[in-house]
Amino acid sequence: MHFAALKESGTALPRLPDPYEPVVSLFENGGGFSLDGTGMIDIDATASMGRGSLAEWLERCNSRTCRTRSSC
């Protein structure tokens, strides 16, 4: 939780969204995620995506012909 310590130090920081909010929201709403042995992140057993940034994932998906986003 180094981000929290940095905020508490009083150092001027750029206006960035809280990096933990998405996962906190996921857990607060009863969701969860797991990592499988192939490098995929499974979200609530309904969706999965490869590790890396969202931009990287979208670029890989958009470079293929996908029937649905979840099949990328």
- State the DSSP code for 3: H
Let me know if residue 58 belongs to a domain. yes
Let me know if residue 6 belongs to a domain. no
On whether the CB atoms of residues 61 and 72 are closer than 8 A, the answer is yes
On whether the CB atoms of residues 44 and 31 are closer than 8 A, the answer is yes
What pLDDT does 64 receive? Answer: 60
Q: Indicate the pTM of the whole model.
A: 0.45
- The parent domain of residue 25 ranges over 13-71
What pLDDT does 71 receive? Answer: 47
Let me know if residue 28 belongs to a domain. yes
pLDDT digits (tens, 9 = 90+) for 11-69: 888 887 887 888 888 888 888 888 888 878 888 777 877 777 778 767 777 766 454 44
Let me know if residue 8 belongs to a domain. no
Let me know if residue 20 belongs to a domain. yes
Let me know if residue 4 belongs to a domain. no
Let me know if residue 43 belongs to a domain. yes
- Domain count for the chain: 1
